[in-house]
Amino acid sequence: MSEQLNFEKTNQELLAFLDGSPSSFHAAANMKTMLEEAGFIRLLEGQRWKLETGKGYFVTRNDSALIAFRIPKKDFAGFQIMASHSDSPVFKIKSNAEIQVENHYVKLNVEKYGGMIYSPWMDRPLSVAGRIVVQTADGVATRLICVDRDLLVIPNLAIHMNRQVNEGYAFNAQKDMLPLFCGGREEARGTFLSMIAREAGVKAEDILDTDLFLYSRMKGTVVGLDGEYICSPHLDDLQCAFASLKGFLAAEPKESVAVHCVLDNEEVGSSTKQGAASTFLKDVLHRINGAMGRTEEEYLTALASSFMVSADNAHGVHPNQPDKADPTNRPYLNEGIVIKYSANQKYTTDAVSGAVFKALCRKAGVPFQTFHNRSDILGGSTLGNISGNQVAVNTVDIGLPQLAMHSCCETAGSRDTAYLIEAARVLFSSAIRGDGDGNYSLA
Ligand code: ZN
């Protein structure tokens, strides 16, 4: 199967998706457009759902999380779910952001969202994206904002003033990471919001609140002698979100409801109304079950024949730091989907879900590899085990191998996205039925 995969076309589409997604709100909006173009029908959580077999639907929460699904028939066996996340570590712009420096500079006050590597944010053009909420005649309305020009920079301190910088430097988020916005002026207060208001075509006094973030102006690109790698912001986890959606759109569900699920706020622990700890996925699955006229008993039966792939990027072996990887599990870029294991269940994978996913990869004809943390290095966490508290189904944690996770320019393989798309297509087209004693059929 993998010979037929079009790696180059996939990469170009992925890079276009990444370039168009400077914030989680933009990522959700781009997915919404792709779904609408494919004929999917938008549902609202605040309205009654009337669903029909053979049709596809999607719903968003907070404009930053999105769940799409397709119902093959009323007596479907279960749900085939792939979950990823829309957010990335970033700097968020605080209220009253302008700080005047000696009447000669104005910088912006920002705070951390998630755990990023600081240094790559310095000395490169940055800009601002996110959403604003404006006063309307009868309430408030959200507008997406992306300032599409080089606007800000966080300048490093010259080495002459910090001779030890290359021996390691402890960055202070309140002191070192504030971006330079403009030259000094008599009254700096309000200049940032006025600029945002001009971009949005609204009056500054009508902007009631904002969720605005910095983004790197670097566009995603292909590197390596033979184009082996891609470098881009937000590969964690929009590479998986994109692959999940492309596989979902290409799938033909027959026995199970296919569910493409992208949640927000993974980088800050998932405990928001649109995160993996929320009821979003559970609410959607419940409403599908109810709208198809099925009973609670049938819902629980369906969950037992459901399977979830928690797709969040994984660490590849680093060319300059190969010792940081486990001695016997060594994922490399371009060598396939990474199945993640952790004995203490930071990852949900167990022998059963790992085996089911390997069987899926074999069916899809795509390579897979395994990841364990070194036993003396504490790893990160992800959304699979958090989501399991709300929707308890067999789950495997996987990801695509990448380097420099949580840098604002990450590196991944240029073949792996296509592998995950194909695995997702097979997942969403399949039905996995459990007969209750650890045996599963894969149709
Ligand atoms: Zn992630």
CA of 237 to the centre of ligand 1 (A): 5
Cα-based torsion angle of the residue sequence 229, 165, 320, 22 in order, rounded to the nearest 10 degrees: -20
> What per-residue confidence (pLDDT) applies to 443?
84
Q: In 259-401, where does DSSP find H-type helix? A: 280-291, 296-304, 351-364, 384-387
Separation in Å, CA 183 to CA 98, 194, 196, 412? 11, 15, 17, 38
CA of 113 to the centre of ligand 1 (A): 13
CA of 236 to the centre of ligand 1 (A): 5
CA of 111 to the centre of ligand 1 (A): 20
CA of 191 to the centre of ligand 1 (A): 34
CA of 353 to the centre of ligand 1 (A): 20
CA of 63 to the centre of ligand 1 (A): 19
Are residues 393 and 302 in contact, defined by beta-carbon separation less than 8 angstroms? no
Render pLDDT for 151-176 as a digit per residue (tens, 0 to 9). Answer: 999 999 999 999 999 999 999 999 99
Largest CA distance in the chain: 74
Residue 35: its H or E element: helix 24-37
CA of 245 to the centre of ligand 1 (A): 16
**Reported confidence tier of residue 342, pLDDT bands at 50, 70, 90:** very high
CA of 73 to the centre of ligand 1 (A): 33
Segment 398-403 shows an average pLDDT of 98
User: Which tokens hold the place of 330?
Assistant: 């060594």
Segment 367-383 shows an average pLDDT of 90
Q: Which residues pair with 441 in a beta bridge?
A: 433
CA of 130 to the centre of ligand 1 (A): 19
CA of 53 to the centre of ligand 1 (A): 33
> What per-residue confidence (pLDDT) applies to 442?
86
Asked if residue 435 has pLDDT above 90, the reply is no
> What per-residue confidence (pLDDT) applies to 439?
83
**Reported confidence tier of residue 434, pLDDT bands at 50, 70, 90:** confident
Q: What is the rounded distance in angstroms from the CA atom of residue 399 to the CA atom of residue 412? A: 11
DSSP letter for 235, please.
Answer: H
pTM of this prediction?
Answer: 0.97
User: Which tokens hold the place of 168?
Assistant: 């390691």
CA of 173 to the centre of ligand 1 (A): 22
Q: Is 43 helix (H, G, I), strand (E, B) or coil?
A: strand
Q: What is the rounded distance in angstroms from the CA atom of residue 21 to the CA atom of residue 46? A: 26
CA of 284 to the centre of ligand 1 (A): 23
Asked if residue 27 has pLDDT above 60, the reply is yes
Amino acid at 54: G
CA of 383 to the centre of ligand 1 (A): 8
Q: Is the dihedral of CA 391, 347, 431, 17 positive or negative?
A: positive
> What per-residue confidence (pLDDT) applies to 136?
95
CA of 381 to the centre of ligand 1 (A): 8
The verdict on whether omega for the bond into residue 75 sits within 30 degrees of 0, i.e. cis, is no
Q: Is the dihedral of CA 353, 359, 365, 370 positive or negative?
A: positive
Of 410, 315, 430, which is closest to residue 88 (Cα–Cα)?
Answer: 410
CA of 139 to the centre of ligand 1 (A): 35
Residue carrying structure tokens 């994922």: 331
> What per-residue confidence (pLDDT) applies to 175?
97
Cβ neighbors of 278 (< 8 A, separation 6 or more) are 61, 263, 270, 271, 272, 390
> What per-residue confidence (pLDDT) applies to 389?
84
Are residues 410 and 235 in contact, defined by beta-carbon separation less than 8 angstroms? yes
Q: Which residues pair with 261 in a beta bridge?
A: 67, 83
> What per-residue confidence (pLDDT) applies to 441?
86
CA of 235 to the centre of ligand 1 (A): 9
Q: What is the rounded distance in angstroms from the CA atom of residue 19 to the CA atom of residue 219? A: 6
What value does the mean pLDDT of the chain take?
95
Asked if residue 4 has pLDDT above 80, the reply is no
CA of 180 to the centre of ligand 1 (A): 29
CA of 271 to the centre of ligand 1 (A): 15
**Reported confidence tier of residue 390, pLDDT bands at 50, 70, 90:** confident
Asked if residue 275 has pLDDT above 50, the reply is yes
Q: What is the rounded distance in angstroms from the CA atom of residue 408 to the CA atom of residue 330? A: 24
